[in-house]
Amino acid sequence: MKIRIGIAGYGNLGRGVESALRTSDDMELVAVFSRRNPADVKTRTGVPVYSMEQALEMKDQIDVMILCGGSANDLPEQTPALARHFNVIDSFDTHARIPEHFANVDAACKEGGKVGVISVGWDPGMFSLNRAYGQAVLPNGADYTFWGKGVSQGHSDAIRRIEGVQDARQYTIPVEDALERVRKGENPELTTREKHTRECFVVAKEGADRAAIEQAIVTMPNYFADYDTTVHFISQEELDRDHKGIPHGGMVFRCGTTGFEGENKHVIEYKLTLDSNPEFTSSVLVAYARAAYRLSQKGESGCKTVLDIAPALLHPEAPEALRAKLL
């Protein structure tokens, strides 16, 4: 019998999960739930769409619900609400609020005897795993996380809110020289400016003051002021043609020393190069949905994160096969 999956929220992430499930033979997509009018939502694979309110009626037909809403407004409410009735997976990524979200989901899961796995994706997610493994293996060392080259949705949105801007796309780019120093094991102290640059492609409205827009971008606190930022004005056609993808990625490093005199250096690098940020995140969500189902079958309940889940639980093959083939 296949693991029966529901998707709550049908945006980029929801479509990514729908697509990822097609390459997982042990899982099947049963239903999509949306806050929009179900009649207005057409899924790519033809799987039925229901309103979010109908989810509870289907709780016996779904083994794991994958939440595909946003961290700002959707998940803080939706994940605990659904965790009373379903095993749930989400990609909650507001790092500072993870302990609070964990507590809420944990309470809901325990009330319903369900398993919840929060903050699944690549950061938080695969990057978090690598920070944990790295620190555990090389306690005497330093961590580095770099992001990009990739599109930052938040920074793109911030540019779009500037007066005179019609559309924009922002790329976060790691500084090559900083990467090289880290890879050499120099353990440098790096400022924000030394780690990443920001490159912006902006479509100005007709007659807008481009110099003022550029000035507003490069001096914007939190988003751009602490970075070396480049602004390119291009046409809407160019933006649509050359910048419609959502690539991302980055690197987690752990650089440490061993030996009685700390004389031996070691560098661990975990690097992601992703054509589609939402589709990769979706793929991670689907793997952890398998783990949530298995944990639930073993009688576990409560909230977990990627740090609490053994790698073998993510993989479709049995432990014996993994030992023979992957170790």
- The DSSP secondary structure of 92-152, one letter per residue, reads ---GGGHHHHHHHHHHHHHHHT-EEE-S-SBTTBHHHHHHHHHHHH-SSEEEEEEE-SEE-
Q: Does 260 bind a second copy (CB under 8 A)?
A: yes
Q: Does 312 bind a second copy (CB under 8 A)?
A: yes
| Binding of residue 124 to a second copy (CB under 8 A) | yes
List binders of a second copy among 138-157 (CB under 8 A).
138-140
By CB under 8 A, is residue 297 in contact with a second copy?
A: no
Using CB under 8 A as the binding rule, whether residue 206 contacts a second copy is answered as: no
- Single out the segment in contact with a second copy by CB under 8 A; choices: 35-43, 63-71, 135-143, 156-164: 135-143
Residue type, 281: T
d(CA 32, CA 26): 18
- Candidate list 65, 105, 272, 292; residue touching a second copy; CB under 8 A: 272
Q: Residue 139 contacts by C-beta under 8 Å, 6 or more apart in sequence?
A: 256
In the chain the first and final C-alpha atoms are separated, in Å, by 28
> Which is nearer to a second copy, 51 or 94 (by Cβ)?
94
Nearer to a second copy, 110 or 183 (CB): 183
> Cβ distance 76 to 60 under 8 Å?
no
Q: Pick the binder of a second copy from 160, 183, 208, 294 (CB under 8 A).
A: 183
Q: How far is the CB of 315 from a second copy (least distance, A)?
A: 4
Of 68, 218, 97, which is closest to residue 158 (Cα–Cα)? 218
Least separation, in Å, of the C-beta of 244 and a second copy? 12
* Residue range at the interface with a second copy (CB under 8 A); choices 30-38, 78-86, 203-211, 314-322: 314-322
Is the Cβ of residue 137 or residue 225 nearer to a second copy in the bound state?
137
- Burial label for 188, CB within 10 Å (0-12, 13-18, 19+), is middle
Contact 310, 123 (CB under 8 A): no
Residue 3 CB coordination number (10 Å): 22
Binding residues for a second copy, rule: CB under 8 A, are: 16, 19-20, 22-24, 44, 95, 98-99, 102, 119, 124, 126, 128-129, 131-133, 135-140, 183, 185, 258-260, 263-276, 279-280, 282-284, 287, 290, 305-312, 314-316, 319-320, 322-324, 326-327
